[in-house]
Structure 1
Amino acid sequence: MSTSTITLQASNEQRRRLHHEADVVIVGAGVFGCAAAFALAKQGRSVILLERSLKEPDRIVGELLQPGGVSALEKLGLSDCLQGIDSVKVVGYEVIYYGNPVSIPYPANAGAAAQGGFKDSMNEKSSRPEGRSFHHGRFISQLRRACASQPNITIIETEATDTITSQHSAQVLGVETKTFNPATKKKENDYYFGHLTLIADGYASKFRKQYIGKAPIVKSKFYALELIDCPMPAPNHGIVILGDGSPVLLYQIGTHETRALIDIPENTPSAAAAVGGVRAHIRKVVLPSLPKQVRPCFEAALADGKIPRSMPNSWLPPSTQVEKGVVVLGDAMNMRHPLTGGGMTVVFNDVVLLADLLSPERIPDLSNTAKVQAAMKEFHWKRKGLSSIINILAQALYSLFAANDRQLKALQKGCFSYFQRGGNCIDGPSGLLAGIIRQPFVLFYHFFAVALLSVWIVMKDTMGSILGFWKFPLAVEKSVLIFWKACVVIFPFIFSELRS
């Protein structure tokens, strides 16, 4: 490193520390904020990273990183953050449908899977990709340590309360915060200024309403248990359990710990307070649907008598943003149901793209708001190659897995039967889930293949045999309703991505 570079870094550090000025101010030192700060700092940008609390967070989601996210983390130079946190290798999914399991490994040949079965996967050989699962807080702490190691980043514990706008234009100049003063034992006003302000304050963003105008849609919550030394039906897999209730997820987050996430839709009758609430629902509806080897650990986790911690399962379509000097990103801008574990994969790939579009080679000075706005418009549409697939897939699969009517139940059964066929019926969907297939057509192809298989199963079950030909009109009616339901499930999510 040259003497001039060291001198510039020292000068920028003094500006950040004393004058609270930088090229970029980032609100939120979570997954997106840390990754973006690290990526921009590595390009030579001066970065101030603000976080309300630098204590290790304790969240019940953001614990599974798909292979596509692992790959993006490597591109960012942050793969070491997966080390030293007792992370667990993930090689695919296991779906257990009314006690019957089917394994869905990540595809050994994503290229063949991306062709929807139109390519002979035996002609090309490659190792299977892997994901990682872990304690969310430990991973965030590693990301923050990586940021703290960068001379171009200053991390400050303070609560962002508002943006600072120029009196002469609508341009955002930075953020106003409240910082705890140990001397006075009070929070005092503080101010941080940057050419560009990135807001990544998470799913409960206080700035979303101001700059996006869309509100998240919440139809269910995940209630979480931590199972200790639980014998897993399929080690190193994310396990989805389907039965009469909504889906249950199981995945290891450490050598001894397994996360159980129980989806409970709003206004579920069996979870009403009058009949015992959430704990009664878990005991009466969820517990009987679980594999036998899991139930003792589940019971032990419920023994404390408390209502399990919960998180809302949110859907928030992405938005284009045209404000000057500020961009809202991460979960503050775009969320999908966490059923498929795609959130962090979207985030890290977003940061890879963002860093490229905002690189000094493209935009030497981030105060050039016209260039930054043009870059963000390009970012919005380029990211859809991956984000739209994961967004649509998460919402559509949740609709099928939480089936609450006859048509959705038929599609759920068809989906499981599709997976049982193996081959490309698994490789395509698992490649989409993994974040390594980025072709929307592949999602469309497999979803409607499931719909058509569901129609065929219903036709066969309704008519029974050739002697049941007189039931053909009823079979046709059921089939039309199922196909229509499939369209109703997926097209609203497709349209939300196209018009955003």
Structure 2
Amino acid sequence: MDLQTQTAREQRRRLHHEADVVVVGAGIFGCAVAFALAKQGRSVILLEKSLKEPNRIVGELLQPGGVSALEKLGLSDCLEGIDSIPVEGYQIVYYGDSVNIPYPPGAGATLDGGIEGSRNEKSERPKGRSFHHGRFIGQLRRACAKQPNITIVETEATETITSTKSPQILGVKSLTKNPETGEKQDDFYFGQLTIVADGYASKFRKQYIGKDVVVKSKFYALELIDCPMPAPNHGIVILGDASPVLLYQIGTHETRALIDVPENTPTAAAAVGGVRAHLRNVILPSLPKIVQPCFEAALADGKIPPSMPNSWLPPSTQTQQGLVILGDAMNMRHPLTGGGMTVAFNDVVLLSTLLSPERIPNLGDTAKITSAMKEFHWKRKGLSSIINILAQALYALFAANDKQLKALQKGCFAYFQRGGNCIDGPVGLLAGIIRQPFVLFYHFFAVALLSIWIVMQNTMGSILGIWKFPLAVEQSALIFWKACVVIFPFIFSELRT
């Protein structure tokens, strides 16, 4: 594209507010999709309510499958210069015992499943990255600002603009602050395609997606300074009598602690001191000894820690002409497994392929866009369904609140202790490296069967305990039923449109 054409397109975006694509939301998904489409030669307007560096407590750990997708998009430089930390895997701490589950050996993830590269111990193990969310967003926005086909505008999108002659969405109406008066005034932005990626609290979701967000708990966050880690460069999951706690470094000196607090937790009730009392009296004693002083110091400010809802929203196909809703606005899972950004970046890789100029020269061709979005909905499931189901199922086990779930939780830890494929398979799924849904099904029910075996052994004891066999069978049946109740609703939610 020559300079004159490029300048004319930029002026059209600035003066007339017209482009090929209008993207609402300059977060993880919005920045990535704007950059990917602009690289293909599309003219893009990127709208964001506030261009200040965001201060969020999730979106801080990018799995290896997400790092691979970021490289495919040409945005891997955004991980540099923000004091990001390499992540080599996880450590699970279960009532004081621990097991390390490193990412499996292999060069990286493919888009269509499997693992690239050699599967031997000498292969380089992939790594994820963890960081301050706001710093990473800042890098993504700077990358978009440098892209000549993108114009970034600080404005609050309020509603869609619909054609008077058809149901076609033409763009969005917004409120823009007048720099001279300081007052907000109406603004309008038009595109052949409008992509809404305004996050977990989307104001457009209810109008165009007929599914409700389910929230059963919140993550409360503390930032621990110069905290010694039981396993450096690992995400640490601490399991005990309370809901799970996550620890991971987000900088050279900073470690994030995320504490899951389910709704109506008795020890977090206002009458007994609220969330701070729960953190001090229940969570603090359950942490590794070397972490406790830093955790206690982080509580010393006397403030209620910042929190985020842990949301579940199954994916949806969309048929609205001229509009698609994507990212967390369309699909969310519990952030326990840190899979959100990995899903987002891989969605952008797939979407940009399906919407490429070679496939769809004119983004105003609604028939081709609708067909591409249906293909997108089903093709993305090779990765997204795994991470969605795994996040929800693991959370059910790790936040176990009944006898059967506690048995499954114990079986899960015992499964990891076996090492080998009992680690490589599950963590490969979690990392976005293995993209075969059957592998998830296999390992989940392998955990269920091991849990049953452990219960059978503990119930019957020695051969003299054969008289307890009926009780063992009953407990085993309940555990298997609970495993089915945990996973099948999430599987069915992925099979719906």
Q: TM-score of the superposition, structure 2-length normalised?
A: 0.97
Distance 2:169 2:160 in 1: 7
**Residues 58-116 of structure 1, C-alpha deviation per residue, up to 9 Å, x if partnerless?**
0000000000000000000000000000000000000000000100000014899x999
Q: Which amino acid aligns with 2:207?
A: Q
Q: Kindly state the Cα deviation for residue 8 of structure 1 after the two structures are TM-superposed.
A: 1.6
The match for 1:105 is 102
* Structure 1 residue 34 corresponds to structure 2 residue 20: no
* Structure 1 residue 314 corresponds to structure 2 residue 311: yes
The match for 2:234 is 237
The match for 1:415 is 412
* Structure 1 residue 133 corresponds to structure 2 residue 139: no
Which residue of 255, 261, 265 corresponds with 1:264? 261
Distance 1:185 1:33 in 2: 27
Is the Cα contact below 8 Å between 1:246 and 1:265 reproduced in 2? Answer: yes
- SS class of match (1:233): coil
Distance 2:393 2:282 in 1: 23
Matched-pair identity in %: 82
Q: Which amino acid aligns with 1:132?
A: R
Q: Kindly state the Cα deviation for residue 336 of structure 1 after the two structures are TM-superposed.
A: 0.1
The alignment's C-alpha RMSD in Å is 1.5
* Structure 1 residue 161 corresponds to structure 2 residue 166: no
Is the Cα contact below 8 Å between 2:216 and 2:310 reproduced in 1? Answer: yes
Distance 1:25 1:371 in 2: 18
* Structure 1 residue 374 corresponds to structure 2 residue 368: no
The match for 1:280 is 277
Distance 1:237 1:418 in 2: 19
Distance 2:106 2:14 in 1: 49
* Structure 1 residue 304 corresponds to structure 2 residue 301: yes
Which residue of 202, 206, 211 corresponds with 2:203? 206
Is the Cα contact below 8 Å between 1:115 and 1:442 reproduced in 2? Answer: no
Is the Cα contact below 8 Å between 1:34 and 1:147 reproduced in 2? Answer: yes
Distance 2:347 2:486 in 1: 26
Distance 1:231 1:340 in 2: 22
The match for 1:17 is 14
- SS class of match (2:2): helix
Q: Kindly state the Cα deviation for residue 201 of structure 1 after the two structures are TM-superposed.
A: 0.2
- SS class of match (2:280): helix
Is the Cα contact below 8 Å between 1:238 and 1:251 reproduced in 2? Answer: yes
Is the Cα contact below 8 Å between 1:208 and 1:333 reproduced in 2? Answer: yes
Which residue of 470, 476, 483 corresponds with 1:473? 470
Distance 1:368 1:42 in 2: 20
* Structure 1 residue 65 corresponds to structure 2 residue 68: no
- SS class of match (1:94): strand
* Structure 1 residue 292 corresponds to structure 2 residue 289: yes
Distance 1:80 1:347 in 2: 17
- SS class of match (1:336): coil
- SS class of match (2:331): coil
Q: Kindly state the Cα deviation for residue 6 of structure 1 after the two structures are TM-superposed.
A: 1.8
The match for 2:74 is 77
Shift of the 100–115 alpha-carbon distance from structure 1 to 2, 3 Å rule, reads farther
The match for 1:151 is 148
- SS class of match (2:261): strand
Is the Cα contact below 8 Å between 2:248 and 2:256 reproduced in 1? Answer: yes
Distance 1:386 1:405 in 2: 30
Is the Cα contact below 8 Å between 2:34 and 2:46 reproduced in 1? Answer: yes
Aligned length: 492
* Structure 1 residue 399 corresponds to structure 2 residue 396: yes
Shift of the 456–352 alpha-carbon distance from structure 1 to 2, 3 Å rule, reads same
- SS class of match (1:188): strand
Which residue of 168, 171, 177 corresponds with 1:171? 168
Is the Cα contact below 8 Å between 1:50 and 1:155 reproduced in 2? Answer: yes
Runs of 4+ in structure 1 off by over 3 angstroms are 109-112
Which residue of 427, 431, 434 corresponds with 1:434? 431
Distance 2:128 2:108 in 1: 18
Distance 1:440 1:70 in 2: 21
Is the Cα contact below 8 Å between 1:110 and 1:431 reproduced in 2? Answer: no
* Structure 1 residue 216 corresponds to structure 2 residue 213: yes
**Residues 143-202 of structure 1, C-alpha deviation per residue, up to 9 Å, x if partnerless?**
000000011000000000000000001000000000000112200000000000000000
**Residues 250-292 of structure 1, C-alpha deviation per residue, up to 9 Å, x if partnerless?**
0000000000000000001111001111011111111110000
Q: Which amino acid aligns with 2:166?
A: S
Gapped regions of structure 2 (runs ≥ 5): none
Is the Cα contact below 8 Å between 2:107 and 2:126 reproduced in 1? Answer: no
The match for 1:364 is 361
Distance 1:235 1:388 in 2: 30
Is the Cα contact below 8 Å between 2:23 and 2:195 reproduced in 1? Answer: yes
Distance 2:362 2:346 in 1: 23
